[in-house]
């Protein structure tokens, strides 16, 4: 029995845990709260990996590229695709919200236990300045991912520019990356148990009745993410990477399952990296750099979601929006998505940045707080799939993808 468990593909065990978790939540009801600690323990074990994994993966990926000119080419292509897909996602979200009008005429009661997150007390300029850590060690200790990424990129570029003198340190970073990958594989075996507990808690605490008042908003969020998943990403895979779409989705399914169940891009990061390298054939240097960077700044599902919520709040409060308002929504949604941490619920805090820019009451946040986890799951899966999409496209353009391995994508 134990042997069969460990020889079964991880995504199949996660899907089984999802199904059993929903059933347990329905049966236990509010008592499902008593097993949530198992899910919390799983999330903590994942968070333990995130900072060292991102640091070692980014530095190792940069040094593995081996050439400053090539680094600029790879980074430019990746960031260009990240920004393009983010712009498409925000535009799609605002278009759907304008067509469906999810907030028009709704009378929404405040979900029990929901609280309005404290708005960030920093301006856009402050956010940009804070990208550069005044103390990188403190940034790592506090889990401030964006400053860690900035430091890791500068550190990797410096090693690359140093040449032979930096070679020993580059090998140390490679070793650190390999160790973190092995640790990740160990922690990932806890995934089905953590997923079971988290899903049981969601199903038992919120139930299906809690979704009725905001059912239109939930459907809109899933529709928008679905369009990104079945149209936007496949177009990139088919016409930019020039590769079969079916093989891509077969290769990334493990990461999608974990992203959906945990609602955390950071939680899915280790598995996304493994899927992109092992199943989709992208080289370690391209995969490490692109996926680690994308896990923080490539939040297409979140960008779309923030745009939808902004229009939802404006419609619910009867606020007329001008074209300048739509531009502000697009800009702040993109910036807010980039600044959002890859952990469950972070979009709620960044939402205040978008809403305040167009004068929508922050009480709108409380309206969606009760169902945020359900929305978070779908948009996180969209974010993670976008990371893999860009990694494959960049790997293909750089000539660093094993097409044979990609076409034979199989279970982890």
pLDDT tens-digit map of 146-164 = 688 788 888 988 888 888 8
Q: Write the pLDDT tens digit of every residue in 305-323.
A: 888 888 888 887 777 777 7
Structure confidence at residue 335 (pLDDT): 63
User: How much of the chain exceeds pLDDT 90, in percent?
Assistant: 12
Q: Write the pLDDT tens digit of every residue in 112-144.
A: 544 444 444 556 677 678 778 888 888 888 767
CATH number of residue 381's parent domain: 1.10.3860.10
Q: For residue 225, how many other CB atoms are within 10 A of its CB?
A: 26
In a domain, 10, yes or no: yes
pLDDT above 60: residue 324: yes
Structure confidence at residue 222 (pLDDT): 92
Q: Write the pLDDT tens digit of every residue in 256-269.
A: 988 888 777 777 88
| Mean pLDDT across 271-290 | 87
In a domain, 412, yes or no: no
**Which residues are 401's β-sheet partners?**
282
Structure confidence at residue 111 as a pLDDT band (50, 70, 90): very low
Q: Considering its fold, how many domains does the chain have in total?
A: 1
In a domain, 343, yes or no: yes
Structure confidence at residue 290 as a pLDDT band (50, 70, 90): confident
Structure confidence at residue 349 (pLDDT): 55
For residue 66, the enclosing domain spans 2-407
Q: Write the pLDDT tens digit of every residue in 383-395.
A: 999 999 999 999 9
Q: Write the pLDDT tens digit of every residue in 76-110.
A: 888 788 888 888 998 898 899 888 887 776 554 44
Q: Write the pLDDT tens digit of every residue in 211-242.
A: 444 677 888 889 999 999 999 999 999 999 99
Structure confidence at residue 70 (pLDDT): 64
User: How much of the chain exceeds pLDDT 70, in percent?
Assistant: 77
In a domain, 129, yes or no: yes
pLDDT above 70: residue 412: no
Q: Write the pLDDT tens digit of every residue in 369-388.
A: 556 677 888 988 999 999 99
Q: If we measure between CA atoms, which residue out of 294, 314, 210, 222 comes closest to residue 252?
A: 294
pLDDT above 90: residue 245: yes
In a domain, 38, yes or no: yes
Structure confidence at residue 238 (pLDDT): 93
Mean pLDDT for the chain? 78
pLDDT above 70: residue 186: yes
Q: For residue 53, how many other CB atoms are within 10 A of its CB?
A: 25
Q: Write the pLDDT tens digit of every residue in 326-360.
A: 877 777 777 656 545 454 545 555 676 677 767 77
305 or 409: which carries more pLDDT confidence? 305
């Amino acid at each position: 029995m134990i042997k069969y468990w460990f020889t079964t593909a991880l995504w199949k065990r996660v899907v089984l845990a999802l199904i059993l978790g929903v059933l347990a939540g329905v049966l236990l009801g509010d008592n499902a709260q008593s097993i949530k600690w198992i899910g919390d323990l799983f999330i903590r074990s994942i968070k333990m990996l995130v900072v060292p994994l991102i640091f070692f993966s980014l530095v190792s990926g940069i040094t593995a590229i081996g050439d400053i000119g090539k680094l600029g080419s790879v980074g430019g292509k990746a960031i260009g695709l990240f920004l393009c897909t983010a712009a498409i996602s925000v535009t799609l979200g605002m278009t759907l919200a304008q067509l469906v009008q999810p907030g028009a005429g709704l009378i929404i009661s405040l979900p029990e236990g929901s609280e309005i997150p404290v708005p960030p007390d920093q301006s856009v300029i402050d956010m940009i300045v804070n990208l550069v850590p005044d103390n990188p060690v403190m940034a790592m200790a506090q889990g401030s991912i964006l400053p860690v990424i900035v430091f890791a990129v500068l550190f990797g570029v410096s090693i690359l520019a140093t040449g032979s003198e930096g070679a020993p340190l580059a090998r140390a970073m490679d070793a650190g990356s390999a160790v973190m990958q092995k640790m990740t594989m160990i922690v990932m075996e806890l995934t089905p148990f953590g997923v079971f507990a988290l899903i049981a808690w969601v199903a038992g605490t919120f139930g299906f009745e809690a979704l009725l008042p905001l059912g239109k908003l939930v459907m809109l969020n899933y529709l928008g993410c679905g369009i990104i998943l079945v149209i936007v990403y496949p177009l990139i895979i088919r016409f930019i990477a020039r590769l079969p779409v079916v093989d891509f989705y077969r290769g990334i399914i493990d990461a999608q399952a974990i992203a959906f169940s945990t609602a955390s891009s950071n939680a899915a990061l280790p598995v996304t990296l493994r899927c992109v390298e092992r199943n989709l054939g992208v080289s370690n240097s391209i995969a490490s750099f692109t996926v680690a960077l994308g896990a923080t700044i490539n939040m297409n599902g979140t960008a779309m979601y923030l745009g939808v919520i902004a229009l939802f709040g404006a419609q619910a409060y009867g606020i007329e929006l001008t074209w300048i308002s739509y531009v502000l929504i697009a800009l702040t949604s993109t910036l807010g998505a980039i600044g959002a941490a890859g952990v469950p619920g972070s979009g709620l805090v960044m939402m205040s940045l978008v809403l305040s820019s167009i004068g929508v009451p922050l009480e709108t946040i409380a309206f969606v707080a009760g169902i945020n986890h359900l929305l978070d799951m779908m948009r996180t899966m969209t974010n993670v799939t976008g990371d893999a999409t860009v990694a494959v496209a960049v790997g293909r353009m750089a000539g660093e993808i094993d097409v044979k391995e990609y076409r034979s994508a199989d279970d982890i």
